[in-house]
Structure 1
Amino acid sequence: MTNVVKLFDTTLRDGTQGEGISLSVEDKIKIAGKLDTLGVQYIEGGWPGSNHKDIEFFNRVKELDLKNAKVTAFGSTRRKGIKAEEDMNLMRILETKVSVATIFGKSWDFHVHKAIQTSLEENLEMIYDSVKYLKNKGLEVIYDAEHFFDGYKNNTEYAIATIQKAEEAGADWIVLCDTNGGSLPHEISNIVSKVCGTLSTPIGIHTHNDCELAVANSLAAVEAGARQVQGTMNGLGERCGNANLISIIPNLQLKLKYECITEEQLAQLTNVSRYISEIANINMPVNQPYVGAAAFAHKGGIHVSAIMKHPKTYEHIVPELVGNKQRVLVSELAGQSNVLFKAQELDLDFNKESAQTKQIIEEIKTLEHQGYQFEGADASLELLLRKAFDKLDEIFTLESFKILVAKTKESPVASEAIVKLNVHGEIVYMAAEGAGPVNALDNAIRKALEKFYPDIKKMHLSDYKVRVIDEKDATAAKVRVLIESSDFKNTWSTVGVSENIIEASWQALVDSIRYGLIGKTKSNLEEEKQEILGLINH
């Protein structure tokens, strides 16, 4: 049995059925390019018979010079009572000029009677006619047996008959679908094994995550003989989502030793996951396995002490294999090992036995007690450590700032900020307007510093969060402001705490700008990238 597993990505079709997910044609083109770079073998572009957006996608995707992937169009078997050559959905698939068609049909007798309201025999003919018609047109045909596992459990003989009809018609792949996501791994394994012993056509698996078992079910199916896995990037999809290919790929490749993509492509996994998350405008869970920011993050002092001796003590793989990296979080739980690790990252001369070390740890714990949260604000932590070791250049200082907020009956709220900064001994006044007081303050600071630091134009605020630390104090409560910033190459987070939201925002904004201007350069990042690739290759 071959050890190669083909990847079928349906982010652009099934993934867009997830709540809050809407991709433009341009978004879908960008994602298709990324999926091809990752090495995915099949990209399901959409259902050309359902909307104009998908039709436009199939026209434009032809312009991409795809190296690894085949684009497939999705549709259903012919409707009851008509010939395959007269069915508009099948005709729309042919009009896309794709080389691969993916069509689904009913495997569950309950659906045949209730959903499409036809006879069991007519449904079998619909499957056979549709697959045969597309095969006669020269297409590779992937047949998705919808609700197969529910159908198998309810009427085994009929469920098997449906996929035998697809095989008889010449289907290149038969994919077994757990469409309702209600099956368990042992059920998937048992049923897939029996199907593989019945059919000669290669089998695929398509699972949903309604029981949070889509990844486990997909792996169980592969172990039982499936050789194609369908899923989406980051598990996007209807209801609870589809099988998450971002987790399935490294599990198959690193744990079970199946061949899916190259090692170099696997090292792009984190980048692809985060890129698609940005395009889809969704927040990626920090604890997402393999690619999340916290996937290889260590907080407890004992854990950090151990990983400094050997990363394998608390890491199941080398993070760089999937393009991620190890992180050590410094918080009120931190011991000397955490701070030592961060200091080594920054090339600071750090002696864990010194009084200075104990003083820094105590300061971090005091600040966290006041409401600061450095585990979510690495940039602020780095600035704090650099300052403690006199390695932080004071690129500007605040003399004063004023914020004006005005509202009239006829106009919306208007905000203006006026800042007075000392930049290397030169006093600079600047005013700027903004959508709100924090935005106005941000704009004023940037305008004041542009003459001295032109690179500040490349930086932008990408996220802004406010949390009340102690709700019982009502409007007098302290607030914590977390700001995420980006220069289109890097992303960093900073924190500020105060009873005054503007003061807390100022602290986070200033840290953000300081870090951006003294942080890693493009050449630093390229050096790190080469080090990672060198590690993988050796």
Structure 2
Amino acid sequence: MKKSIAIFDTTLRDGTQGEGISLSAEDKFKIARRLDSLGVHYIEGGIPGSNSKDIEFFRRIKSYTWNARFVAFGSTRRKDSIADQDANLNRIIEAQVPAATLVGKAWDFHVHTALQTSLEENLAMIADSIAYLKQHQLEVMLDAEHFFDGFKHNSEYALQVLRTAANAGADWVVLCDTNGGTLPHEIHQIVSAAIEGTQVKIGIHTHNDCELAVANSLAAVQAGALQVQGTMNGYGERCGNANLCSIIPNLQLKLDYNCIADDQLQQLTSVARYVSEIANVNMPVNQPYVGNASFAHKGGIHVSAILKDSRTYEHIQPELVGNKQRVLVSELAGQSNVLSKAQQLGYELDAGKPATKAIIERIKQLEHEGYQFEGADASLELMLRQAISNEQEPFQFESFKILVEKSKNRPVVSEAIVKINIDNESIYMAAEGNGPVNALDNALRKALSRHYPGIEDMHLTDYKVRVLDESDTTAAKVRVLIESTDFEHTWSTVGVSQNVIEASWEALVDSIRYALYGKEKKLQTNERKESLGIVNH
């Protein structure tokens, strides 16, 4: 029988200590809902009463039913004080959550230097605080801070901290590699010693300062830890926390532990990207399991092989974690890349036909001019569709004009005027924006909205400009990449020109064309389902 591992997510608390990450109460609530659907067992919400955001968050979660257990975070009572008079502990109780995490010192150096108290008083602080929360029927976990450094310096005292917590009624003691400097073999040895030296369930909480947080978490579980703490995408202070997006599939798919249900594991990629979007932090494309390039193939030999059997260059099926295989098409692409890409998109290309060779040559020519399709799948798909099917475009471009006004007492205002044609109807529309591209986007969508009302569901999420030849200074070609989403899917488009506005317009038009194409496909799919008597609920 598979051994079960409890997953403890601290994105909303420890993750927000990462540089550049700030979550509102609404942001935290949205993320919590997705984490709950993912199936994590514990969600650490923050420090009750410490700020208005956390106060609002703990208030809001009371109105909903959750599968996960919410956890309030705090520290042990202050030195030389009484637990039931400690404001921090009382705020945890007032939060009315089922579980609490208390951080306590496990390194004698920290007790003397940071707390400036005696080793005996530190143990009393831990015991009193846990016992007080247990009196109020909370599930209590002790985060034994700096446990591994403490064990290496004074193993007897570090173990005494764990025994003190257990004797006071702690449900879990969590061993923290707070400075992130411990190696996997040390983790395994020390966790084994901790399990042998105390009678309480053990958890692990690692940081990534040596790029080993995931490996250290796995080593701890293999030594007997039953709970893993971490964050989505590894967010956290300094170099981050252990990344649950890697830990969960490694435990479940590689080591045969039971963490979450298989159908929940298939949500992993979408949840990781959703959290990234809410946190306004770009995910590394090469992030394992959930990154956009995790199962991307560019080399012609690789692509030729995966067409025969994906196991040749993929260690798992991408769908197990909700990701998908991608074939990148570039100037390095061989025929296999283009054929595979077309097949993924639902098009059948005949390798022997001149049209196929023409498409490959066209891609290589465009890449030579500065286009890059490996990061702009939507533009590539549109080009393939146009070459293969000769479908009518949803609209025809006629002209655009941009006005930028700067006056003394007001900020810069951009206005775009767009003229397009739909079914022989000329449409002329103007709109303002906080920049030329935003104004163009607003004007184009206004022009399309009467014929394509669903266009309101999409928006741009990222905009990147890269100068292709810096030696040409202000006359240099630029490449613009635009990422867009409709909250179900995300896609990227590309434009290239010596004029940044023209390059932006090209990428923007592709983005909207792709959005309209996606809605057309969805409509066709629904129509086919209805014809077969299949009803969506």
* Bin of the TM-score, shorter chain as denominator length: over 0.9
> In structure 2, what is the Cα distance between the partners aligned to 1:100 and 1:300?
50
Q: Secondary structure in 2 aligned to 1:376? A: coil
Q: Cα deviations across residues 154-193 of structure 1 (Å, max 9, x unaligned)?
A: 1111111111111121211111000011111011011001
Conserved 8 A contact 2:2-2:256: no
Conserved 8 A contact 1:128-1:169: yes
Conserved 8 A contact 1:181-1:207: yes
> In structure 2, what is the Cα distance between the partners aligned to 1:342 and 1:374?
11
Q: Mapping of 1:128-527 within 5 angstroms?
A: 128-521=127-520, 523=522
TM-score (norm 1): 0.94
Using the aligned pairs only, state the percent identity: 70
Aligned to 1:25: 25
Q: Secondary structure in 1 aligned to 2:374? A: helix
CA spacing shift, 1:108–1:503, aligned 2, 3 Å: same
> In structure 1, what is the Cα distance between the partners aligned to 2:359 and 2:120?
76
> In structure 2, what is the Cα distance between the partners aligned to 1:156 and 1:258?
30
> In structure 1, what is the Cα distance between the partners aligned to 2:523 and 2:209?
43
Aligned to 2:56: 56
Q: Secondary structure in 1 aligned to 2:3? A: coil
Q: Which shows bigger deviation, 39-48 or 55-64?
A: 55-64
Q: Secondary structure in 1 aligned to 2:407? A: coil
Aligned to 1:44: 44
> In structure 2, what is the Cα distance between the partners aligned to 1:526 and 1:234?
34
CA spacing shift, 1:140–1:520, aligned 2, 3 Å: same
**Equivalent residues, number:** 527
Conserved 8 A contact 1:208-1:242: yes
> In structure 1, what is the Cα distance between the partners aligned to 2:498 and 2:476?
6
One-letter amino acid matched to 1:186: H
Q: Shift in Å at residue 43 of structure 1?
A: 1.1
Aligned to 1:94: 93
> In structure 2, what is the Cα distance between the partners aligned to 1:80 and 1:427?
76
Q: Secondary structure in 2 aligned to 1:412? A: strand
> In structure 1, what is the Cα distance between the partners aligned to 2:525 and 2:198?
50
CA spacing shift, 1:436–1:98, aligned 2, 3 Å: closer
Q: Cα deviations across residues 113-167 of structure 1 (Å, max 9, x unaligned)?
A: 0101001111111112222222233222111110000000111111111111111
Q: Secondary structure in 1 aligned to 2:35? A: helix
Matched, 1:16 2:16: yes
Conserved 8 A contact 1:49-1:75: no
> In structure 1, what is the Cα distance between the partners aligned to 2:329 and 2:86?
62
Q: Secondary structure in 2 aligned to 1:428? A: strand
CA spacing shift, 1:79–1:492, aligned 2, 3 Å: same
> In structure 2, what is the Cα distance between the partners aligned to 1:89 and 1:440?
49
Q: Shift in Å at residue 455 of structure 1?
A: 2.3
> In structure 2, what is the Cα distance between the partners aligned to 1:178 and 1:525?
53
Q: Secondary structure in 2 aligned to 1:270? A: helix
Q: Shift in Å at residue 428 of structure 1?
A: 2.8
CA spacing shift, 1:403–1:312, aligned 2, 3 Å: same
> In structure 2, what is the Cα distance between the partners aligned to 1:21 and 1:189?
32
Q: Shift in Å at residue 302 of structure 1?
A: 0.8
Gaps of 5+ in 2: 530-537
One-letter amino acid matched to 1:511: D
Q: Shift in Å at residue 215 of structure 1?
A: 0.4
Q: Cα deviations across residues 170-219 of structure 1 (Å, max 9, x unaligned)?
A: 21111100001111101101100111111121111000111111000000
CA spacing shift, 1:396–1:2, aligned 2, 3 Å: closer
Q: Shift in Å at residue 526 of structure 1?
A: 8.4
CA spacing shift, 1:77–1:451, aligned 2, 3 Å: closer
Q: Which shows bigger deviation, 382-391 or 282-291?
A: 382-391
> In structure 1, what is the Cα distance between the partners aligned to 2:100 and 2:401?
62
CA spacing shift, 1:268–1:526, aligned 2, 3 Å: farther
CA spacing shift, 1:454–1:52, aligned 2, 3 Å: closer
Q: Which shows bigger deviation, 49-58 or 70-79?
A: 49-58
Q: Which shows bigger deviation, 280-289 or 204-213?
A: 280-289
One-letter amino acid matched to 2:331: E
Conserved 8 A contact 1:483-1:509: yes
Q: Secondary structure in 2 aligned to 1:115? A: helix
Q: Shift in Å at residue 335 of structure 1?
A: 0.6
> In structure 2, what is the Cα distance between the partners aligned to 1:327 and 1:173?
42
> In structure 2, what is the Cα distance between the partners aligned to 1:60 and 1:518?
39
One-letter amino acid matched to 1:179: T
Please provide the CA RMSD for this pair.
1.9
Gaps of 5+ in 1: 531-538
One-letter amino acid matched to 1:395: P
Q: Secondary structure in 2 aligned to 1:74? A: strand
Q: Which shows bigger deviation, 25-34 or 514-523?
A: 514-523
Q: Cα deviations across residues 72-130 of structure 1 (Å, max 9, x unaligned)?
A: 11111111111222222111111112221211111101100010100111111111222
Q: Which shows bigger deviation, 84-93 or 483-492?
A: 483-492
> In structure 2, what is the Cα distance between the partners aligned to 1:443 and 1:241?
38
TM-score (norm 2): 0.94
> In structure 2, what is the Cα distance between the partners aligned to 1:34 and 1:327?
25
> In structure 1, what is the Cα distance between the partners aligned to 2:408 and 2:222?
68
One-letter amino acid matched to 1:443: N
> In structure 1, what is the Cα distance between the partners aligned to 2:59 and 2:431?
45
One-letter amino acid matched to 1:357: T
One-letter amino acid matched to 1:515: Y
Q: Shift in Å at residue 522 of structure 1?
A: 7.4
One-letter amino acid matched to 2:386: K
Q: Shift in Å at residue 331 of structure 1?
A: 0.6
Conserved 8 A contact 2:180-2:210: yes
CA spacing shift, 1:2–1:508, aligned 2, 3 Å: closer
Aligned to 2:117: 118
